[in-house]
């Protein structure tokens, strides 16, 4: 299917064409017709599957730019994802008078209140900042008709459930809601039961996700882990890469060690200010930095084309996280490589990862 097969306005199709989006991904083909019909949708899809367009395009179609109030709401777990989602929605609505605003911590709240002084049609942001603006009487969600919970599993994992529920409590009872999550665990399902009306489930199997275009390797670690990483970095020709660690402390230590060896790297984790994060993103996009050493939370907003290599410096404790990580490469049909360092102590964690997929994993030479 292509976007022209859907009942979309000429303006939205023009915006999609400018973004070079033509053919629908599996999650878009499954979810968009339902959302355009006004159905609630619960989508299981990982990053790199095209889910932002799956919920963003129908939202833009349902918003009336002639009405001077907020009609669409998207909640995201991180600042970076909020920026990414709002950027895409602005692209879909480029040739309409739809006004999209991004609301998250790390930006001046007074400035955001000034922005909300003018009519806003779609608000995208983090639950905490949304609540802050609601308390200050700057954000009015009383006439919102379309709500999206993006990466709901991560919002729950980060402890945002209270903020999410308070924000949803400010929206009308009758509305269209879609929830998107990489996993549909018990907490996510409880959220859907409470805030959704007979949602239709759409799922994309792992065989349809980005990692089918990722050549996956395991690099056994028998001696020094950092030396093993040096050997890998010296043997690959990476245009852009992300090196994942499990903790902020490891990110800082590894980035400092690699910089000392002359590698073009920068660190990125939740302890960075928004200004610091923006600087890292800018330098990474411009090619001034070849590798970003990051935690999983920080990586959620890294939607940059051209990432050729993902290196897992440590095996994640949650097997699902592995698929989030390698989904950062092989975006939109590109090819990618992932290499995971595995010590004997991490063998059990690696077995949990391998049990979740039949995708071939080769030992790194």
Q: Which of 82, 268, 246 lies closest to 160 in space, CA to CA?
A: 82
**365 residues of the chain, pLDDT tens digit each:** 889 999 999 999 999 998 888 888 888 999 999 999 999 999 987 666 788 999 999 999 999 999 999 999 999 998 888 998 999 999 999 999 999 999 998 788 999 999 999 999 999 999 999 999 999 999 999 999 999 999 998 888 888 899 999 999 999 999 999 999 887 778 888 888 889 999 998 887 544 444 567 899 999 998 899 999 999 999 998 989 999 999 999 999 999 999 999 999 999 988 888 788 889 888 988 889 999 999 986 666 566 778 999 999 999 987 767 877 887 887 666 789 999 999 999 999 998 888 766 678 899 98
Q: Please say whether the beta carbons of 219 and 339 come within 8 A.
A: yes
Domains of the chain: 3-204 (3.40.50.300), 208-363 (3.40.50.300)
Question: What pLDDT is attached to residue 207?
Answer: 44
Question: Residue 282 corresponds to which tokens in the numbers above?
Answer: 């800018």
> Is 0.75 topped by the overall pTM?
no
């Amino acid at each position: 299917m292509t976007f022209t097969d859907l009942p979309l306005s000429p303006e939205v199709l023009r915006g999609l064409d400018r973004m070079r989006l033509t053919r629908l991904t599996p999650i878009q083909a499954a979810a968009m017709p339902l959302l355009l019909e006004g159905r609630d949708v619960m989508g299981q899809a990982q990053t790199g599957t095209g889910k932002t367009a799956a919920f963003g395009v129908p939202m833009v179609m349902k918003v009336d730019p002639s009405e001077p109030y907020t009609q669409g709401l998207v909640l995201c777990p991180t600042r970076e994802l909020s920026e990414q989602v709002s950027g895409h929605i602005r692209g879909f609505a480029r040739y309409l008078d739809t006004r999209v605003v991004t609301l998250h911590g790390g930006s001046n709240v007074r400035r955001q209140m000034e922005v909300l002084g003018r009519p806003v049609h779609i608000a995208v942001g983090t639950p905490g900042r949304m609540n802050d603006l609601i308390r200050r009487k700057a954000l009015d969600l009383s006439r919102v008709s379309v709500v999206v919970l993006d990466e709901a599993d991560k919002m729950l994992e980060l402890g945002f459930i209270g903020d999410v529920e308070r924000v949803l409590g400010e929206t009308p009872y009758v509305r269209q809601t879609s929830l998107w999550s990489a996993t549909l665990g018990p907490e996510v399902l409880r959220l859907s039961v409470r805030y959704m009306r007979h949602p239709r489930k759409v799922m994309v199997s792992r065989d349809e996700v980005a990692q089918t275009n990722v050549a996956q390797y395991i690099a056994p670690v028998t001696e020094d882990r950092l030396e093993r990483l040096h050997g890998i970095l010296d043997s690959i020709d990476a245009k852009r890469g992300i090196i994942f660690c499990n903790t902020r402390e490891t990110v800082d230590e590894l980035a400092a060690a690699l910089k000392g060896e002359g590698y073009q790297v920068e660190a990125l984790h939740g302890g960075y200010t928004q200004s610091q994060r923006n600087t890292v993103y800018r330098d990474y996009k411009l090619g001034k930095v070849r590798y970003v050493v990051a935690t999983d939370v920080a990586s959620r907003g890294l939607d940059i084309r051209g990432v050729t290599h993902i290196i897992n410096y440590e095996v994640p404790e949650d097997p699902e996280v592995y698929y989030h990580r390698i989904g950062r490469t092989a975006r939109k049909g590109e090819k990618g490589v992932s290499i995971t360092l595995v010590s004997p102590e991490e063998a059990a964690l690696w077995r949990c990862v391998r049990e979740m997929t039949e995708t071939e994993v080769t030992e790194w030479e």
